[in-house]
Chains A and B, each alone.
Chain A
Amino acid sequence: MFIFLIISFIFAIISLLLPRIFGHKKEEPEKNVPYECSILPFGDARVRYDVQYYLFALLFVLFDVEIVLLFPWALIFKNFANPIFILIEGIIFIMILLVGLIYAWKRGALTWRA
């Protein structure tokens, strides 16, 4: 498992080192300027971005944690002794998720206000 990790790292690093051998290098002052449609860049590039991105990330964290809780449920579902019990439990849990989604929907968290 870790061998794959190491080998793919080596693979990537070797391919990054290839241009050192075969590539060429020519210094020019304008070459290393960040690209901005052929004008000189002004201001800091790290601009403030829309808060909406943050909202979606927050929603993702909430839902992902809840979905992680669903994984063991899905795994034992088929061979569980009492199928009706586990089905109703699962449906209640997913309904709670859905209610949370509908709440976020009604509060307008899912609408992108430009």
Chain B
Amino acid sequence: MLNMISYELLLFVLAPILILVFLSLDVLFLTWLERKVIARIQLRYGPNRTGPFGLLQPLADALKLIQKEDIIPKTADKVVFTLAPIISFVAASLPFMFIPFSKFFQISFIENALIFLLATSALSAIGILLAAWGSNSKYPLLGGMRAIVQVLSYEIPLVLAVLSIVLIVGSFKLTDIVEFQEKNTWLILLQPLGFLIFFISGLAEASRVPFDLPESESELVAGFHTEYSGMKFALLLFAEYIHLILISILITIFYLGGWLIPGIYYLENIAITIGNSFNIPSHISISILHFIILIIKAHIIIFLILWITRGTLFRIRVYSLPVFSWKGLVPLSMINLIITAILVVM
């Protein structure tokens, strides 16, 4: 009984802090990874002065950002300008409530997790719009408008691709989706088209490179965060990278089997034995194992995103951005939904 209460307490108070700390460290790591990968693709060295392989570079950057002066432009709407980074950070980290990091570890166990997940992940557009409007400057406004039309356009194929998964699995719980893949096969084999649609619209939602129009450096200086500096800029950057992590974790859970890998049962047994020797309950040691596998898989996806899109692709034009979604991805995802429904009935 006492054990149960302490586990609940852990889940309620410690887990959010742990996840936020993990996200912050992971964002720091990702900034390093992105710079390093892009540098190697472009035959440069990338950060290599601070620490081994330049691994301490993000820490140095963070320290620099903390020491920066907090500049608010005199024409800006001060309340909105200050609120925007906070809201975009909170909105970006909210979906992690509903993500199962393992079979037993999810902050909010609710029946309709998927709906809440989609709803909260779309909230980050509000933060961007607030930042763009509150700056009261021309480049941020243009960037913000582009960001909104991009998020709105690519939301629909994303949701339709997820709906095809719901059709196959028959549940809104993300743990059920992974369990289905445990019993049958990974959903990427059943939904190759859906995977492609989800991947592309996920890239657009996270505004990664072929769709990085909201902050295209060569046209709009820095887009919606042109006026931001110091920690406010850092929070906006955090929100963006957290969105990337979210999309890659979602791809992993929906299509690549979440924490499942071949031979997971042996690994679970090993984890339980190791856990027993330290007097850790078996569900906690399994949770840790699942968490590690999920995160490694998500980072492989992130590496692919950096490699395939950031390293090789170019930015698409703003005129073809929503058109590609409405004329290409939306009809395609509807057809995918119909085909999935027919196949499920058969």
Q: Which of B70, B86, B97 contacts A12 (CB 8 A)?
A: B86
**Which residues of the partner chain B approach A46 to less than 8 Å between Cβ atoms?**
133, 136, 141
Q: Mark B162-182, 1 if CB is under 8 A from A, else 0.
A: 011011111110000000000
Q: Contact between A41 and B138 (Cβ–Cβ < 8 Å)?
A: yes
| Contact across chains for B137 and A35 when beta carbons are under 8 A apart | yes
The reply to whether B171 and A23 contact each other, CB–CB distance below 8 Å, is no
Say yes or no for B315: interface residue by CB 8 A criterion: no
A19-35 interface code vs B (CB 8 A; 1 in, 0 out): 11011111000011111
Q: Of A13, A22, A34, which one neighbours B73 at CB under 8 angstroms?
A: A34
The listed residue (A12, A37, A75) touching B90 by CB distance below 8 A is A12
Q: With CB as the reference atom, state the residue of chain A lying closest to B11.
A: A3
Q: Which residues of A contact B70 (CB under 8 A)?
A: 19-20, 23, 25
Q: Are B139 and A78 in contact (CB under 8 A)?
A: no
Closest residue on chain A to residue B234 by CB atoms: A15
Contact B68 A19 (CB under 8 A): yes
Within 8 A of A (CB), among B135-176: 135-139, 141-142, 145, 148-149, 152-153, 155-156, 159-160, 163-164, 166-172
**When the two chains form their complex, are residues A35 and B338 in contact, meaning their CB atoms are under 8 A apart?**
no
User: How far, in angstroms, from A16 to B72 measured CA to CA in the complex?
Assistant: 13
* Contact across chains for B330 and A56 when beta carbons are under 8 A apart: no
State whether the Cβ of A81 lies closer than 8 Å to any Cβ in chain B: no
**Which of the residues A32, A64, A79, A97 comes within 8 Å of B71, measured between beta carbons?**
A32
Interface residue range, chain B: 35 or more
A15 CB contacts on chain B under 8 angstroms? 231, 234-235
Stretch at the interface among B12-20, B184-192, B267-275, B297-305: B12-20
Report how far A25 CA is from B76 CA in the complex, Å. Answer: 18
Per the bound structure, the CA–CA distance linking A37 and B218 in Å amounts to 12
B264 beta carbon closer than 8 Å to chain A: no
B4 on the A face (CB < 8 A): no
Q: How far is the CA of A16 from the CA of B17 in the complex (A)?
A: 17
Interface size class of A (residues with CB under 8 A): 35 or more
- Name B227's contact: one of A35, A63, A76, A83 (CB within 8 Å): A35
Is B73 a contact of A98 with CB atoms below 8 Å? no
Q: Establish whether residues B85 and A12, one from each chain, have CB atoms under 8 Å apart when the complex forms.
A: yes
Provide the B9-29 mask, 1 if CB < 8 A to any CB of A, else 0. 000110011011000000000
Q: A35-B137, A91-B341 are in contact. Are A11 and B20 (CB under 8 A)?
A: yes
Chain B residue contacts of A32, Cβ below 8 A: 71-74
Q: Which segment, of B37-45, B288-296, B321-329, faces chain A?
A: B321-329
Asked if A18 and B66 make an inter-chain contact with CB atoms under 8 angstroms apart, the answer reads yes
Residue on A nearest B156 in the bound complex, by CB: A63
Which one of A3, A23, A71, A83 lies within 8 Å of B13 (CB-CB)? Answer: A3
User: Is B94 close to A, CB under 8 A?
Assistant: yes
Query: Across the interface, which residues of B come within 8 angstroms of A22, CB to CB?
Result: 66-67
Chain A residues at the B interface, C-beta cutoff of 8 Å? 1, 3-5, 7-9, 11-13, 15-16, 18-20, 22-26, 31-37, 41, 45-47, 49, 53, 56-57, 59-60, 63-64, 67, 70-71, 74-79, 83-84, 87, 90-91, 94, 97-98, 101, 104-105, 110-112, 114
- 6 A-B pairs, CB-CB below 8 angstroms? A1-B107, A4-B108, A8-B16, A49-B145, A56-B149, A77-B166
